[in-house]
Amino acid sequence: MPESSIAQLFNIQQRYIRSVNLERDFGDPSALDGYIVTPEIKQMLSRIETGLSPDSSQRAWRITGDYGSGKSSFALLLAHLFGGNAEHLPSKLKVSLKGVNQEAQLLPVLVNGSREALGRTLLSALRKAILEIRTKGPVPNILGQIESVLERPEADEITASTIVDLIAVASDYASRGGRYRGLLIVLDELGKSLEYSALHPGHQDVFLLQALAEAAARSGKRPLYVVGLLHQGFNVYAESLSQHAQKEWEKVAGRFDELVLAQPLDQTSILIAEALSVKASRLPAAITKSAQGEMELALNLGWYPPDRKSSHRRLRSENRSWSGTIFFSPVSDLLFK
C-alpha cells in the first residue's frame, strides 16, 4: 500500500473546526451534526432534568469547564431538548438521546455574555426570544415594557427586581399558546459579565444572578431554568474585590448547582477520534498492530475503566468492528477509531 501523508489520514469534521455561538447556531440544528453524547453528557442531562418536577427547586445551574471543553455545544443541545426542537436534530444524535427527556417545553432565551451590564444583555435576549414566537395581532405588552426599560440611559441601573418581574411576564406570555410552559435562560460566556461586574461593583450584577436563582427555585409549575456557562469558578472573577465582597459572591455562587464539564480519559478519546475521523483503511498494518499493543498495556495499567477493558478484549477475540468507538492508549487515541 502506498504511504499516506498525515493530511490524507484525517477527515476533520467541520463542527470541530469552529466554536459554537448559541444565538447564531440555534436556528440550525445541523450545527450539532456529529455531536457525541458520552455517558458524562447523559449524566449531566439527567441531573438537570431533575428540576422538571413541579416540586423541584433545582433550576439554577452553573456549568464550569475549560476553553474548548464543549460547554456551548452542551448548552445548544440542552436548548433544543428543553425547547421542544429535538425532532429537528440530526438522526444519529436523536438515536443517542433515547431515554433523555425531550418534552420540557421551555422557551430558550439565549444570552451571549459581554462586558456590559448583565441586565441589559439579558433583556435584549429576552426581547429577541419573544419576538421570535410572536403571532399576528397587537404588539404584546411585554415587548413594550422591555423596550421601555432598555431605552433608559446607560447610566441608569436596571434593578434586579425589575428584570425578574419582566421575566415573569414574558413567561406568562410564552405559555399562552400552549407550546411553552416556562423559560430556559442560558447565560453563555457568563465570565465576561462577571468581569464587568467586578470592575463596576456599583451595578450589582452579581445580585441579579442571585435574584434569578431565587426566582428559578420558586418557579413551581411554570419552570424558570437559569444555566450559566463559566471557564472558572466565581471566586476567580472576584479576586480583585474586598474580602466582604468575595464572600457575597461565594454566597451567590452557592445558589447555583454546579456541573463540571471534564470528560474522563476514555470518553475524551472517543471525542478525539470522532473529530479526526481517521481513515483506518489507509493505515499501515504495522502501525495498527503497534497501537493495539499499546492499548493492551494501557488496559493492564488500569488507565481505562474495567468495563472498557472487558469490552475491548471481547471484541478483539470476536474480530468485530469498533463501530466508531475507540479503545486505544492516549498515544494511539490521536490516530485510531
SS3 content of the chain, % helix, strand, coil (to 5): 55, 10, 35
CA dist 229 and 161 (Å) reads 23
Which pLDDT value is given to residue 136?
72
Among 69-73, 94-98, 298-302, the least confident range: 298-302
Does the structure show a pLDDT above 70 at 150?
Answer: yes
According to DSSP, residue 100 is labeled S
- Per-residue pLDDT at 303 exceeds 50: yes
Give the span between the Cα atoms of 263 and 270, in whole angstroms: 10
Q: At residue 335, does pLDDT exceed 90?
A: no
Give residue 282's pLDDT.
Answer: 67
Q: Does domain 14-260 have CATH number 3.40.50.300?
A: yes
User: Which pLDDT value is given to residue 83?
Assistant: 92
Mean pLDDT of 20-46: 85
**Residue 201 contacts residue 248 (beta carbons within 8 Å):** no
pLDDT-derived band at 290 (thresholds 50, 70, 90) equals: confident
Give the amino acid at 260.
V
Query: CA end-to-end span of the chain, whole Å?
Result: 20
Lowest mean pLDDT among 22-36, 37-51, 233-247: 22-36
pLDDT, residue 333, reads 40
Split at pLDDT 50, 70, 90, the class of 287 is confident
Roughly what angle, to the nearest 10 degrees, separates helices 285-300 and 306-318?
140
Please choose, from the candidates 260, 275, 283, the residue with its C-alpha nearest in 3D space to the C-alpha of residue 326.
Answer: 275
Cell of 298: 494501557
pLDDT digits (tens, 9 = 90+) for 238-267: 888 889 889 999 999 999 999 988 766 665
Task: Indicate whether 37 pLDDT > 90.
Answer: no
Q: Is residue 316 pLDDT above 70, yes or no?
A: no
| Highest averaged pLDDT of the listed ranges 35-49, 72-86, 127-141, 211-225 | 211-225
166, 214, 215, 224 from 172: Cα distances, Å: 10, 18, 14, 11
What's residue 265's pLDDT? 63
Pairing of strands 224-230, 106-112: unpaired
**DSSP assigned state of 195:** H
The three-class DSSP label of residue 36 is coil
Higher pLDDT, 1 or 324: 1
pLDDT surpassing 80 at residue 44: yes
**pLDDT-based confidence at residue 131 (cuts at 50, 70, 90):** very high
3-state secondary structure of 157: coil
Alpha-carbon distance values, 123 to 118, 128, 143, 201 (Å): 9, 9, 10, 20
Instruction: Please state at what angle helix 39-49 crosses helix 71-82, rounded to 10 degrees.
Output: 50
Considering only 50-54, 116-120, 242-246, 332-336, which range has the smallest mean pLDDT?
332-336
Compute the mean pLDDT over every residue in the chain, rounded to the nearest whole number.
81
Q: What whole-number percentage of the chain has pLDDT above 90?
A: 36
pLDDT of residue 270: 65
Q: In what order do the strands lie in the sheet with 60-64?
A: 106-112, 182-188, 224-230, 60-64, 257-260
pLDDT bracket for residue 23 (50, 70, 90): confident
Measuring CA to CA, which residue among 163, 170, 61, 185 is closest to residue 119?
A: 163
| DSSP string covering 273-306 | HHHH---GGGS-HHHHHHHHHHHHHHHHTT-S-H
Give all strands (DSSP E) within the chain, no chain letters.
60-64, 106-112, 182-188, 224-230, 257-260
Query: Quick one: pLDDT at residue 273?
Result: 67
**Across 1-11, average pLDDT:** 61
Q: Where in the chain is the domain with CATH 3.40.50.300?
A: 14-260
Per-residue pLDDT at 3: 57
* For residue 208, pLDDT beyond 80: yes
Of 150 and 23, the structure prediction assigns the larger pLDDT to 150
